Structure 1
Amino acid sequence: MRTTISQLKEMKQNKQKIAMLTAYDYPTAQILDKAGIPAILVGDSLGMVVLGYDSTVSVTMEDMLHHLKAVVRGSQKAMVIADMPFMTYHLSPEQALLNAGRFMQEGGAQAVKLEGGVNVADKVKRIVDCGIPVMGHIGLTPQSVNQLSGFKVQGKTLTAALALLEDARALEKAGAFAIVLETMPAELAAMITAAVSIPTIGIGAGENCDGQVQVVSDMLGIFTDFVPKHTKKYADLNSIISKAVSGYVTEVAKGEFPTLKESFTLDKKVLEELKKCVSSEQ
């Protein structure tokens, strides 16, 4: 059985930290699931770390569904949460519900995630009222990067901090089961975490959130176009993969790969008969 909303809420109550990572494909989902990750986010960050876009704005429902299905197939125990991409929930509560339903019915997700606070509370409520779990997301909201003038820390002024507190309370009231707090002062994230009864999942929001989420490509050292300040690199797979590929190229060029070990052979009798046939044709 997959991780449930009740289990995540119990983890907050018991002060047990929640670990969440992104995943975008079947083998990565398998690895994370077997390693014991309770929740996997199929983030629209795939636009940047998988598809090579400059931001998440270009990501479509079709992109998300394609990757979501692979992650669901690759996991068995983790709750799989799908990011609703830009302009798939902004127009109306009905549009939001329709697309959230696609993630559940077509993609196999257990929950969806929306960016925004007070401004999307009506959409969150509509989705939740129809039985679809929603995770909120406030602070730095990448889909609004153009309006925010870049990837900047949010909530640094009194007005901005109070607005984020209001956003968190609005999401909780609307029925969200958890909230991602992205790129905000640690002190503010701690206050928001104390102010709501639902789990907060931080990314660049300090140690006092109820859990943490990281982009798997960042923490494994695969994506190197830029490294966010909040990322800790647990491995350097970029270098490992690069070294492996260089070795492969060298061995192929020298004729050292493949060897007999990596090759298949004919039965001797078949080989002799084949030689006779070829010889007779020449």
Structure 2
Amino acid sequence: MKGQRLSTNDIVTMKRRGERIAMLTAYDYTSAQMVDAAGVHMILVGDTVGMVVQGQDTTLPVTLDQIVYHSQMVARGAQRALLVGDMPFMTYQVNVEDALRNSARLMTEGKVGAVKIEGGVAIAPTIERLVNVGIPVCGHLGFTPQSTHAMGGPRIQGKEPSAAASLVADAKALEAAGAFAIVLELVPASVAQEISQRVSIPTIGIGAGPHCDGEVQVFHDLFGLYTDFKPRHTRRYLNVAQDVVTAARQFVRDVSEGTFPGAEQTSDIGPEAKERFRALLTA
């Protein structure tokens, strides 16, 4: 499928074939190019941009304008992966009309192929309405970052049997509403496994164990760019922040010592032109 962007149908088909789904966040042209070249199946333009790019404490301050802006950059950089745009806090919860208008804007201006919405049974009617007008929706259950204050911060959800059963019911409701996939965040592995087996659409885990149909991680966590903290559920494949600091220190030394820029980084006019130039200055 080289040269052709993956669709939501392709992602659903991957589950049917037993193929696992790799998903990463990206927030700009360059990072999108890199993860797309690596072969990820889905790229999430997440509201995590508020934390790992903007330095916010939560995702709540992120606006629709900002997600549209970052989605445009990602769409220019990625050629193959399915692009999913996060719907920010309160862009879809007030009423269905808001959800329709804002989702449509993210797709038409942001060039994403689907939107992601947090919530379970209560949000299912909104998802159904979006799907019915042709807007693909990825659900999000478990720890939902836009409800971080109500949940008391990033905590495992579904540890109690009744709460676990509610998550299963939420997942079934999202499937019935027409969602093509569901992100499961900070969910016990056995609960995530049960959900994955009970729905026909892919589950994409993050801190939900190995039994989901795929995995999503934050670009800055995976490659060591975000140093404020390291989530337990991530694996550092690189430590870019440390390498950048080391390289930047060398740059500072080179500039301070006058060894950069050098001859290789310098261009100049020829001797004859230089002589005429100096003559003009003294004329």
Once the two structures are TM-superposed, the CA of residue 39 in structure 1 deviates from its matched residue by 0.7
Amino acid at match of 1:258: P
> Is 1:18 aligned to 2:28, yes or no?
no
| Cross-structure match for 1:154 | 157
Once the two structures are TM-superposed, the CA of residue 271 in structure 1 deviates from its matched residue by 1.3
| Cross-structure match for 2:276 | 273
Return structure 1 stretches of 4+ with deviation > 4 angstroms: none
| Cross-structure match for 2:206 | 203
Q: Distance in 2 between matches of 1:203 and 1:257?
A: 44
Q: Distance in 2 between matches of 1:264 and 1:81?
A: 45
Amino acid at match of 1:277: L
1:21-77, Cα deviation, whole Å (9 max, x unpaired): 000011000001111111100000010000010000111111111111110111111
Map 1:43-58; keep pairs closer than 5 Å: 43-58=46-61
Q: Distance in 1 between matches of 2:179 and 2:63?
A: 23
Q: Distance in 1 between matches of 2:9 and 2:161?
A: 34
Amino acid at match of 2:52: V
1:219-274, Cα deviation, whole Å (9 max, x unpaired): 00010101111010000001110101101011111111000110111133221210
Once the two structures are TM-superposed, the CA of residue 279 in structure 1 deviates from its matched residue by 2.5
Q: Distance in 1 between matches of 2:62 and 2:162?
A: 31
Which residues of structure 1 form unaligned runs of 5+? none
| Cross-structure match for 1:143 | 146
Amino acid at match of 2:269: L
TM-score normalized with structure 1 length: 0.98
Residue 151 of structure 2: SS of its match in structure 1? coil
| Cross-structure match for 1:74 | 77
Amino acid at match of 1:132: I
Of 7-16 and 83-92, the range deviating more from structure 2: 7-16
Q: Distance in 2 between matches of 1:267 and 1:66?
A: 45
Amino acid at match of 2:120: G
Residue 141 of structure 2: SS of its match in structure 1? strand
> Is 1:2 aligned to 2:41, yes or no?
no
Q: Distance in 2 between matches of 1:253 and 1:117?
A: 57
Q: Distance in 1 between matches of 2:59 and 2:259?
A: 43
Q: Distance in 2 between matches of 1:172 and 1:25?
A: 31
Q: Distance in 1 between matches of 2:109 and 2:272?
A: 53
Q: Distance in 2 between matches of 1:123 and 1:192?
A: 21
1:155-202, Cα deviation, whole Å (9 max, x unpaired): 000111011001100000000000000001000000000000000000
| Cross-structure match for 1:30 | 33
Residue 88 of structure 1: SS of its match in structure 2? coil
Please point out which of 47, 64, 67 is paired with 1:64: 67
| Cross-structure match for 2:257 | 254
Q: Distance in 1 between matches of 2:52 and 2:90?
A: 20
How many equivalent residue pairs?
Answer: 280
Residue 41 of structure 1: SS of its match in structure 2? strand
Amino acid at match of 2:28: D
| Cross-structure match for 1:175 | 178
> Is 1:244 aligned to 2:247, yes or no?
yes
| Cross-structure match for 1:230 | 233
* Percent of matched pairs sharing the same residue: 47
Q: Distance in 2 between matches of 1:253 and 1:186?
A: 53
Residue 252 of structure 2: SS of its match in structure 1? helix
Which residues of structure 2 form unaligned runs of 5+? none
Amino acid at match of 1:186: A
Amino acid at match of 1:120: I
